[in-house]
């Protein structure tokens, strides 16, 4: 095996998200660590931005002979001294879009993150609007493990780098990222990537998983893997991809997908697991961590073009209820932070339309009642969620949806 070969020896065990303003270098950093450019769809290549949540995995290794942080690398042989390294963890990166119009996609990605890297460009004023909005989103979803990277440091002198560092400290004071490590890097020039890996190993633990619980997977994408013109007898069933949050799934399991097809009413789909894929290849069973692809016996027409994004997967009749309406306990922010100017958040009014992110699902809702902190909403698209589930609430301000607060389904 060549020294720079990147093998994924087993299923990833932890999901690390990227967050931060557009163009600050999230996708470049993921590429520097994993060797994979996650923005591969034609529309993304054309516009030069990440649109859909992307996944790329890496195995982290430690050299027994080199000092920190040089000893950390994604290679089974040390790039500094050539020694054989020890496998630490297999990690999955969930690369999120940073453009303000793609906040809903970022929130879907945030629903499956166990830790996050907040990428902040050192050559711009801190904070930029989505730097603020993403940190607020992570905080409200309960994210506790954050590493900050100060990117593009090769573009500025030491004095400016120090100013940017102090601006980051002021901006994060009082937030969940207050004591986060701040690693200066150049993602493009691959400088200090070993220190980022060390910070991830130190500050983003693998969460304790409930492997005995009934399986619960959030769908982030779904596809038809067949090429156009294929013969009917060669057709492969529909594929759904996402992250298992708890439990285990095995080839041969019966599964239910909720809410499933949305016609007049939600129609859950029942099928069987025909195959299971992870970045380590085809497997017989999967645990939480990384992107899992489930090959089903569903008609691929039902799964094409991300039609099942936002649905959840589990064993039949074990999933949370399908909700057409919900009541939530709401805490609003003082200001909406997604634009350069901070806008005061007014109370939620009966009759207004909100955008709600619940897990990886996103739907619009009409507010039917709003009293104190209790808000009742009729959903345009049903969602599958339990009491206690977190809701990210956005409102149209000017010409954009802005995050205005957090809800909990009651």
Which positions lie near ligand GDP, rule CB under 6 A? 20, 22-28, 49-50, 98, 119, 151-152, 154-155, 186-188
DSSP 8-state class, residue 84: B
In the bound state with Zn ion, the residue whose beta carbon lies nearer, of 80 and 331, is 80
Q: Which string of b and e fits 301-333 if b means at least 16 CB within 10 Å?
A: ebbbeebbbbbbbbeeeebbebbeebbbebebb
In the bound state with ligand GDP, the residue whose beta carbon lies nearer, of 100 and 224, is 100
Query: Taking the complex as a whole, how short is the minimal distance between the CB of residue 26 and Mg ion, in angstroms?
Result: 5
Instruction: Give the DSSP H or E segment for 203.
Output: helix 193-203
Query: Taking the complex as a whole, how short is the minimal distance between the CB of residue 203 and Mg ion, in angstroms?
Result: 22
Gyration radius of the chain over CA positions: 22
Q: Which string of b and e fits 234-245 if b means at least 16 CB within 10 Å?
A: eeebbbbbbbbb
DSSP 8-state class, residue 146: E
Alpha carbon dihedral 217, 218, 221, 224, in 10-degree steps, equals 40
Evaluate the CA torsion angle 29, 32, 34, 40 in order and state its sign: positive
Evaluate the CA torsion angle 135, 141, 147, 151 in order and state its sign: negative
Query: Taking the complex as a whole, how short is the minimal distance between the CB of residue 37 and ligand GDP, in angstroms?
Result: 9
* Residue selected from 14, 17, 19, 26 as contacting Mg ion according to rule CB under 5 A: 26
DSSP 8-state class, residue 199: H
Backbone angles phi, psi at 202, to 5 degrees: -80, -40
Query: Taking the complex as a whole, how short is the minimal distance between the CB of residue 45 and ligand GDP, in angstroms?
Result: 11
* Residue selected from 8, 59, 63, 249 as contacting Zn ion according to rule CB under 5 A: 63
In the bound state with Mg ion, the residue whose beta carbon lies nearer, of 127 and 260, is 127
Stretch that binds Mg ion, among 49-57, 113-121, 131-139, 309-317 (CB under 5 A): 49-57
Helix (H, G, I), strand (E, B) or coil at 44: helix
Query: Taking the complex as a whole, how short is the minimal distance between the CB of residue 121 and ligand GDP, in angstroms?
Result: 8
Backbone angles phi, psi at 171, to 5 degrees: -65, -40
In the bound state with ligand GDP, the residue whose beta carbon lies nearer, of 29 and 293, is 29
In the bound state with Zn ion, the residue whose beta carbon lies nearer, of 75 and 165, is 75
Query: Taking the complex as a whole, how short is the minimal distance between the CB of residue 38 and ligand GDP, in angstroms?
Result: 9
**Please, what is the end-to-end C-alpha distance for the chain in angstroms?**
54
For residue 120, which of 170, 55, 184 has the smallest C-alpha distance? 184
For residue 312, which of 263, 358, 257, 250 has the smallest C-alpha distance? 257
Query: Taking the complex as a whole, how short is the minimal distance between the CB of residue 193 and Zn ion, in angstroms?
Result: 15
* Residue selected from 12, 15, 24, 27 as contacting Mg ion according to rule CB under 5 A: 27
Query: Could you say whether residue 28 binds Mg ion (CB under 5 A)?
Result: no
- Residue 35 burial (CB < 10 Å; 0-12/13-18/19+)? middle
In the bound state with ligand GDP, the residue whose beta carbon lies nearer, of 19 and 354, is 19
Query: Taking the complex as a whole, how short is the minimal distance between the CB of residue 154 and ligand GDP, in angstroms?
Result: 6
Query: Could you say whether residue 50 binds Mg ion (CB under 5 A)?
Result: yes
Give CA angle at 82 (79, 86), nearest 5°: 85
Residue 188 interacting entry, from ligand GDP, Zn ion, Mg ion, none, C-beta within 5 to 8 Å by type: ligand GDP
Query: Taking the complex as a whole, how short is the minimal distance between the CB of residue 108 and ligand GDP, in angstroms?
Result: 16
CA 379 – CA 329 distance, rounded (Å): 16
In the bound state with ligand GDP, the residue whose beta carbon lies nearer, of 20 and 259, is 20
Contact set for Zn ion, span 75-134 (CB under 5 A): 78, 80-81, 83
In the bound state with Zn ion, the residue whose beta carbon lies nearer, of 64 and 252, is 64
Query: Could you say whether residue 3 binds Zn ion (CB under 5 A)?
Result: no
Binding flags for Zn ion, 352-371, as an x/- string (CB under 5 A)? --------------------
Tokens read off for 340:
């350069």
For residue 217, which of 116, 319, 115, 356 has the smallest C-alpha distance? 319
Residue 78 interacting entry, from Mg ion, Zn ion, ligand GDP, none, C-beta within 5 to 8 Å by type: Zn ion
Size of the site for Zn ion (CB under 5 A): 7
Residue 81 interacting entry, from Zn ion, ligand GDP, Mg ion, none, C-beta within 5 to 8 Å by type: Zn ion
Task: Please report, as ranges, the residues that interact with Zn ion according to CB under 5 A.
Answer: 63, 65-66, 78, 80-81, 83
């Amino acid at each position: 095996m060549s020294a720079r070969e990147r093998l994924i020896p087993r299923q990833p065990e932890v999901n690390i998200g990227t967050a931060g303003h557009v163009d600050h270098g999230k996708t470049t950093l993921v590429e520097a660590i994993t060797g994979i450019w996650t923005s591969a769809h034609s529309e993304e290549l054309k516009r030069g931005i990440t649109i859909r949540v992307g996944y790329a995995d890496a195995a982290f290794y430690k050299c027994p002979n080199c000092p920190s942080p040089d000893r950390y690398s994604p290679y089974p042989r040390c790039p500094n001294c050539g020694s054989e390294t020890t496998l630490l963890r297999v990690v999955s990166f969930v690369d999120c879009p940073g453009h303000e119009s793609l906040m809903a996609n970022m929130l879907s990605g945030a629903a499956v993150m166990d830790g996050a890297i907040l990428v902040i460009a050192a050559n711009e004023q801190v904070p930029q609007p989505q730097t603020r909005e993403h940190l607020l989103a992570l905080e409200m979803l309960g994210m506790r493990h954050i590493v900050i990277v100060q990117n593009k440091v090769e573009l500025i002198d030491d004095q400016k780098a120090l100013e940017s560092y102090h601006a980051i400290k002021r901006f994060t004071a009082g937030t969940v990222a207050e004591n986060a490590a701040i690693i200066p890097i150049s993602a493009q020039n691959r400088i200090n990537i070993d220190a980022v890996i060390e910070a991830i190993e130190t500050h983003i633990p693998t969460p304790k998983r409930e492997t005995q619980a009934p399986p619960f997977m959030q769908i982030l994408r779904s596809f038809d893997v067949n090429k156009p013109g294929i013969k009917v007898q060669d057709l492969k069933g529909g594929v759904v991809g996402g992250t298992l949050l708890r439990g285990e799934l095995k080839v041969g399991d019966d599964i239910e997908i909720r809410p499933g097809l949305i016609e007049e009413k939600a129609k859950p789909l029942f099928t069987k697991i025909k195959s299971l894929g992870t970045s380590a290849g085809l497997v017989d069973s999967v645990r939480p961590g990384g992107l899992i692809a489930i090959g089903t016996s569903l008609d691929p027409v039902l799964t094409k073009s991300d039609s099942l994004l936002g649905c959840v997967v589990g064993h039949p009749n074990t999933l949370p209820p399908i909700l057409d309406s919900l009541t939530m306990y709401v805490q609003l922010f003082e200001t909406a932070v997604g634009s350069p100017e901070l806008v005061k958040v007014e109370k939620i009014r009966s009759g207004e339309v909100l955008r709600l992110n619940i897990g990886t699902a996103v739907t619009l809702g009409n507010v039917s009642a709003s009293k104190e902190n209790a808000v009742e909403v009729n959903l345009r698209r049903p969602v599958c969620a339990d009491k206690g589930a977190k809701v990210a609430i956005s409102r149209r301000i000017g010409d954009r949806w802005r995050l205005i607060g957090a809800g909990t389904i009651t």
